[in-house]
Amino acid sequence: MTPGTVVVTGGAGFLGSHLCERMLTRGARVICMDNFLTGTPANVEHLFGDPCFRLVDCDLTGFVHVPGNVDMVLHFASAASPVDYLRHPIETLKVGSLGTLHALGLAKDKGARFVLASTSEVYGDPLEHPQRETYWGNVNPVGPRSVYDEAKRFAEALTTAYRHSHGVDTGIVRIFNTYGPRMRVSDGRAIPTFVGQALRGEPITVTGDGAQTRSVCYVDDTIAGVLALAESGLAGPVNIGGPDEMTMLGLAGLIRDLAGSSSPIRLIEPAADDPRIRRPDTTLAEQKLGWRPKVPVEEGLRRTIAWFAAEPAAEPVA
Ligand code: NAD
Ligand code: UDP
């Protein structure tokens, strides 16, 4: 299938920049829309010479206009790291609500397929493990993470309403913790933080008792899953995430070893409302999309460490 013209919102961010790249190699014309709140034009600078690529400085919370035909809207705009969304709470709520409304409006206007980047955070601190798409979640609506969780839950509801009321061809992908090149070393998420600390020989800061778990997925695998959903007619939601559930203490130790570092591991204050466990049930993605992750966690972490080691030091964006 030829992807035609694809709008990637949040295209100058971590996942968005990989999506733009992958869509171009598939022969698409890519319009990348971003306001650079947590992303940077540097993430897509290498695509500027491609005549099929266009970067538009645009805030999705305002009116969005794209001239001409659009075949697909991949809606990825939103701060995603807890440090970022806690620094930008209102912006996060606005892009999840108003931004999603405008991206859906664009898809409706153009008759385009729309894909929402949702998140495992809609499951909150889950009482079902692993999490299946049928689980409704355990979210604190007034807790610190609610600015992100509830924005995404609203975005899922709005996407579903546009499908049922306006007949928009929509898909929802619930992405679990993804890592890889082009994360900001200073974005506060566990993997870039641990890698930066290990490479600098500083203490690796693990929150709480470090027994909380996450299941991590290398970016190439996540992007393959997103594209499989985008090119299917599936409405979802569909979980896309890695099978390797690890404690944060285990992850810190693994990163330290792979980086050849002798950093000590330091336990710090627990993060508020931090989910204790997290692992996707990916049966649906396997059965309906033929998707499963391919990159083993040690290999993905090695590639990520090598990328950070070759990059200049941290670059605060916002
Ligand atoms: P990121 O912060 O690197 O990228 C988000 C991008 O959205 C940035 O470039 C930012 O500038 C842009 N943006 C934010 N508000 C905007 C607005 N109002 N208008 C235009 N652009 C705006 O984060 P990421 O990790 O690449 O995440 C991308 C998407 O994937 C997010 O929607 C996130 O919720 C979702 N997601 C990511 C993960 C993960 O592990 N990386 C997991 C689950 C879901
Ligand atoms: N975490 C940590 N040290 C850090 C940053 C994060 O131990 O310097 C923990 C965090 O409290 C959580 C886990 O690592 O338990 C994953 O955090 P991340 O921000 O990567 O993802 P999320 O919490 O959004 O799943």
Give pLDDT, residue 3. 76
Identify the three-state secondary structure at position 19: helix
Atom of ligand 2 lying closest to residue 212 CA = 15
CA–CA dist 307, 218 (Å, integer): 13
Q: In this predicted model, what pLDDT tens digit does every residue of 278-295 receive, in sequence order?
A: 999 999 999 999 999 999
Give yes or no for a contact between 11 and 55, defined as CB atoms under 8 angstroms apart: yes
Is 82's C-beta closer than 6 angstroms to any atom of ligand 2?
yes
**Do residue 122 and residue 223 come from a single domain?**
yes
**Do residue 45 and residue 191 come from a single domain?**
no
Is 212's C-beta closer than 6 angstroms to any atom of ligand 2?
yes
The amino acid that residue 298 corresponds to is: E
Q: 306 phi and psi, to 5 degrees?
A: -60, -40
Q: Assign residue 82 a region (left: φ > 0; alpha: ψ between -120 and 50; beta: otherwise).
A: alpha
The yes-or-no answer on residue 85 being catalytic is no
Q: In this predicted model, what pLDDT tens digit does every residue of 137-159 receive, in sequence order?
A: 999 999 999 999 999 999 999 99
Give yes or no for a contact between 275 and 166, defined as CB atoms under 8 angstroms apart: no
**Do residue 188 and residue 99 come from a single domain?**
no
**Do residue 32 and residue 133 come from a single domain?**
yes
**Do residue 137 and residue 201 come from a single domain?**
no
* Residue 162 CA to ligand 1 centre (angstroms): 22
Of all ligands present, the nearest one to the C-alpha of 102 is 1
Helix segments in 201-296, DSSP class H = 219-231, 248-258, 283-289
**Do residue 221 and residue 210 come from a single domain?**
no
Supply the CATH number for residue 108's domain: 3.40.50.720
Give pLDDT, residue 313. 52
Give pLDDT, residue 316. 43
Q: Tokens at residue 261, please?
A: 């570092």
The amino acid that residue 151 corresponds to is: A
Lining ligand 1 with CB less than 6 A are 9-10, 12-16, 34-39, 59-61, 76-80, 84, 95, 99, 117, 119, 175, 177-178
**Do residue 51 and residue 122 come from a single domain?**
yes
**Do residue 88 and residue 204 come from a single domain?**
no
Structural domain that includes position 62? 5-178+217-240
Q: Tokens at residue 235, please?
A: 């409405």
Residue 290 maps to a domain: no
Ligand 2 pocket test, pick from 15, 175, 187, 206 with the greatest ligand atom count within 8 Å of Cβ, gives: 206
Q: Tokens at residue 169, please?
A: 């061809």
Residue 180: pLDDT over 50: yes
**Do residue 112 and residue 41 come from a single domain?**
yes
Residue 284 maps to a domain: no
Q: Mean pLDDT, to the nearest integer, of 205-217? A: 97
Q: Which one of the listed residues 148, 162, 179, 218 is annotated catalytic?
A: 148
43, exposed or middle or buried, with CB in 10 Å at 0-12, 13-18, 19+? Answer: buried
Count of domains forming the chain: 2
Residue 282 maps to a domain: no
**Do residue 196 and residue 146 come from a single domain?**
no
Nearest to 166 by CA among 105, 117, 226: 105
